[in-house]
Amino acid sequence: MHVEYMKSIAERYSKLGYPVYQWYHAEEAPPFVPLKKPLSESRVGMLSTSGAYVVGQKAYYYKDDSSTRAIPKDTPRDQIHFSHITENYLAGPRRDPGCMVPTEALRKLEDEGAIGEVADDIFSCMGGIYSQRRVREELAPALLDTYRAQNIDAVFLIPM
């Protein structure tokens, strides 16, 4: 099925009462930071922007929800649910949560020694946050603090 993503998002935001969305354009590329040790020796985190949460946790709400949810790495697939502003893109993740929250794949890489260790908790946010300021000033610094507290060497980003 062909979906015009940009048009779809603009229409959804308009229905929610937002002004025309201004897509973010970075003024410069982010700095490249090489790993300090091999991935096979690294503690790895993950961020999915799919709005994933574990049964029993609060679902995301749509209006600029810049919160995160910690998902234990051993959470069974059937306990992972999704709530996201782009509901029309959730059919696949609802059938197979592993496409957006690949905990089983990460644990397999850990077991095989491809990565040193998967953090006890991986994280999710609702990637359709309208306010770029809130992403820069709230979400990104909170995630950085969380990853630093977990002694994370590298983070896999699973964008939706």
CB atoms within 10 A of CB 138: 15
Instruction: Please write the tens of the pLDDT for every residue from 69-100.
Output: 999 999 998 999 888 766 666 777 778 888 88
* Cα 123 from Cα 67, distance rounded (Å): 10
Q: Amino acid identity, residue 77? A: R
Give me the residue spans of the domains in the chain. Answer: 37-158
DSSP 3-state assignment of 154?
A: strand
CA 157 – CA 127 distance, rounded (Å): 11
Taking residue 60's Cβ as centre, other Cβ atoms within 10 Å add up to: 24
Name residues whose C-beta falls within 8 Å of residue 30's C-beta, 6 or more positions apart in sequence.
Answer: none
Cβ(51)–Cβ(127) below 8 Å: yes
CB of 10 closer than 8 Å to CB of 21: yes
Per-residue pLDDT of the chain (160 residues; tens, 9 = 90+): 666 767 777 787 788 887 776 677 778 888 888 899 999 999 999 999 888 999 999 988 877 788 999 999 999 989 998 887 666 667 777 788 888 899 999 999 999 999 999 999 999 998 877 778 888 899 999 999 999 999 999 999 988 7
Q: Are 139 and 65 in contact (CB under 8 A)?
A: no
Whole-angstrom distance, CA of residue 23 vs CA of residue 130: 9
User: What's the predicted TM-score (pTM) here?
Assistant: 0.80
Could you tell me whether strands 117-118 and 68-72 are parallel, antiparallel, or unpaired per DSSP bridges? unpaired
